[in-house]
Amino acid sequence: MFGFFKKRPQRPSQRDPIAAFDDVVESMERQGQELRKSAATLLTLKTQFLRDEARYQAQLEELERRLDEAARLGDAKAETVLRNDRRATQLRLEETLQARARADDDASLLTAAVQEHLTRLEALKAERQSAQARLSAGLVVSESLKAQVEEVDRVLKLDRARDEIERAHALADVYREDAKKKLRP
């Protein structure tokens, strides 16, 4: 259809080399935000585990008190129910302690990952800064050399012009000599 919908070949873009550093830094900063978000979630989870642990401890103390009361009153049915409740609460407490231990391990790993990530990010930022300085210096040197090359070109053109003038004079001298020889009898 007249080439309207035809995909045109894309030319490779001449990007600023520093843009590659900027892209990676931006990506790493996003990763850092995700790591911080994970750390905040883990902190919230650990806090919840601590609350659950305290609640289960309080429940166990209450169950022990009520179990002693039922034993003192000789209520066997109540003792059976309270022992089952104590076992279930003890099991939930143990699960909470295990989950908190896993969260502590995960927090240690996450803390190490955050530290490593920050170290790499700072190193990359320093490398970017150095690359920017080297690129700027390279551009200045390149411009200076370009000016020198242009000056050399001007000098060479001037030398070629001088040579051309010398050849023209030499040729004129040759013709002049030739003309003098022809005029002499």
User: How does pLDDT run along the chain (185 residues), one tens digit per residue?
Assistant: 455 555 555 444 456 788 888 898 999 999 989 988 888 888 889 899 999 999 999 999 999 999 999 999 999 999 999 999 999 999 999 999 999 999 988 988 888 888 999 999 999 999 989 888 888 887 788 787 787 888 888 888 888 888 888 888 888 888 888 878 877 76
b vs e for 8-42, b when ≥16 Cβ sit within 10 Å of the residue's Cβ? eeeeeeeeeeeeebeeeeeebeeeeeebeeebeeb
**pLDDT tens by residue, 20-63:** 888 989 999 999 899 888 888 888 898 999 999 999 999 999 99
The one-character DSSP state at 75 is -
Q: 4, 9, 13, 16: which is closest to 128 by C-alpha?
A: 16
pLDDT at 40: 85
What fold is seen in the domain 17-138?
Helix Hairpins (1.10.287)
CA distances, 175 to each of 100, 157, 163, 179, 185 (Å): 108, 27, 18, 6, 17
| CA–CA gap between residue 51 and residue 59 (Å, rounded) | 12
pLDDT at 14: 53
The one-character DSSP state at 3 is T
Q: To the nearest whole percent, how much of the chain has pLDDT over 90?
A: 37
Question: Computed from CA positions of residues 46, 51, 56, 60, in that sequence, does the dihedral angle turn out positive or negative?
Answer: positive
Do residues 16 and 138 touch, judged by C-beta distance below 8 A?
A: no
